[in-house]
Structure 1
Amino acid sequence: MLEAPLLSICIPAYNRPNWLQRGLESIAVGEGSDIEIVITDDSDTDQGQAIASEVLKNWSGSWCYEHHQQPLGMAQNWNRAIQWATGQYVMVLHDDDFFLPQGLGLLVNKLRQLGSSSPVLLFGVRVVDAQERVVKRQGFRQDKLLPPHDALIRLFSDSSFVRFPAMVIRRDLFTEVGYFNPDWREPCDLEMWMRLFARYGVYCCREATVAYRVHGQALTMGSFHGETVNILLRLFGELEKLNILTTRDIEFCKGLFFHQYILAGAWRQLRRRRWREFKQVMGLFDLPELKSLSCPVKWRFLRGLFSLT
């Protein structure tokens, strides 16, 4: 029996062939003997297969491709890729993201160094725009294990604490905690991180490995509305049921999370001079469910400034 690869890079694709090619090229420049690539494609055509065949023709790792005549949808496409994976560890690299130079090598070396002792890992990222200009460097000064309580505090007090492609998860955990639940809609990734962190905490790694692209085509661009707020509030209710955080902890997190979430969404619209959409996002603060939230000190100036815009 062949030994399982160390890492499965799962790429759920959707109608971004040029960026899919970019992501594959960032993998193919490195050694692939202990890596597999799994591409599950919800795109309108199977163009991704020809792209993968060309980019990966001389790559030393293994790869597979599946095109869906009927799109599975966001979360189920993620799940399908993970279910195809055979690696000891799994990461999901969206088709608009890519590895930094030497990023994949750093990631693999870290996994070899840690062995199976750290089932949930979070690496550093470079947040980039559509032209790959770095707009933010996000990471950790040193390696640190956050136990469940501390991990959940970070997760629910900072809406950008986890950038999806920076998460690396031991594959067998999915049989224990389950897969992404599409019923949670856009925040279904946050719900998954909650389940994982509640059981295992998270090991934060100082290495920056991937670029996370922020752009107008991202599915999250349309998530700043009242329906998503209600889903997030229900998620805070699920967090409370875990009995890991105190009521005071949860209220502290809620104030930070929703201010960052709304102000970040408003800034995205403001940068694109979408004034009507900007006002709509800022209007989320007036929802009855959020009106009672106190504004944390770190967000008071920006909220005040945006309120005058």
Structure 2
Amino acid sequence: MEPKVSIVIPFYNCSYVDQAIQSALNQTYSNIEVILIDDGSTIHTEKINPFLKEISYFKKENGGTATALNQGISMANGEYIAWLSSDDYFLPEKISKQMSIMLKHTIDLSFTNYDCINEKNEILIPWCGQRFLNNNEVYKAFLLYNVINGCTVILKKDIFEQIGYFNPLFRYTHDYEMWLRLLVSINNYKIHYVDEILTKFRTHEKAGTRKHQVEMQNEMSIIENYYRPILSEYIKQL
């Protein structure tokens, strides 16, 4: 049987959550579970009701995306974890295509490219992420910016047991810190870029990436000042 993949959806007052859930349930990969963590939502919760028999649903006090992800990961039964923001959505073959590559090449984490879309699911920017030819290019790019869109990632669950979960102190850039922590880990995790668009990333007026730019920049400065010197030394040894 195919390894189970747990799709974790953190949800907080997002009007697009039904589209996210439906895209997770529409996966062509047969062995999945969908876990939705409601991070203290006060609106749009009725959009979840039609899916309650098909997903695992848990409500908690508001603590930020990292805490919701961590709870979902800790509850997951899958050997692999995928993260889907409640305002984004997966294409139907997202899990199957990535898992096929990961299993074939014994990969710990894979990420893909993605389209940037608007409120009407119209494509604003196709192939929004940088495209890479090899892993060395990925590592070097991390010296400049956050290479990975978290909702394009599939990774082994045991990575979290080995290097820790998302750090909730970084409320808006917890993913950036995690990828850098993983890159410089002594465990030498194998990361692979899949040159396909399998996720749609939504930009809209209520998106956190728009509303919290100052906080994000402050967190990124802390993360980069700590990890970039370590990553730079690591790259020299490649």
TM-score tier after normalising by the smaller chain length:
0.7 to 0.9
> Do structure 1's residue 204 and structure 2's residue 193 form an aligned pair?
yes
On the 8 A contact 2:28/2:92 being kept in 1, the answer is no
Contact 2:116 2:202 in 1 (8 A): yes
Q: What's 2:84 paired with?
A: 93
- Counterparts in 2 of 1:134 and 1:5: CA distance versus 1, 3 Å: same
Give the conservation status (yes or no) of the 8 Å contact 1:4–1:86.
no
Bigger radius of gyration: 1
**May I ask how many residue pairs the two structures share in their alignment?**
228
Deviation of the 1:214 alpha carbon? 1.1
**2: CA distance between counterparts of 1:119 and 1:186?**
24
Q: Which has the higher contact order (CA 8 A, sep 6+)?
A: 2
Counting aligned pairs with the same residue, the percent is: 23
Pair 1:158-2:158 in alignment: no
Which amino acid is 2:182 matched to? L
Match of 1:64 in 2: 56
Q: Distance in 1 between matches of 2:143 and 2:126?
A: 20
Question: Are the structure 2 counterparts of residues 230 and 29 from structure 1 closer, same or farther at C-alpha, using a change threshold of 3 Å?
Answer: closer
CA distance in 1, matches of 2:177, 2:66: 12
Structure 1 equivalent of residue 179 of structure 2: 193
Query: CA contact under 8 A between 2:181 and 2:227: conserved in structure 1?
Result: no
1:103 to 94, 119, 122: 94
TM-score (norm 1): 0.66
- Name the structure 2 match of 1:47: 46
**1:180 aligns to 2:166 (yes or no):** yes
Cα distance between partner residues in 1 of 2:13 and 2:38: 8
Q: How do residues 216-235 of structure 1 correspond to structure 2 at under 5 angstroms?
A: 216-225=205-214, 227-235=215-223
Give the CA deviation at 1:122: 1.0
Looking at structure 2, the residues matched to 31 and 237 of structure 1 have their Cα atoms a distance apart, in angstroms, of 41
Aligned partner of 2:23 among 9, 23, 26: 26
Deviation string for 1:110-140 (max 9, x for gaps)? Answer: 34433xx211111121111111111222257
Residue 217 of structure 2 aligns with an amino acid whose one-letter code is V
- Structure 1 or 2: larger helix share? 1
CA separation of 1:104 and 1:44: change in aligned 2, threshold 3 A = same
RMSD: 2.6
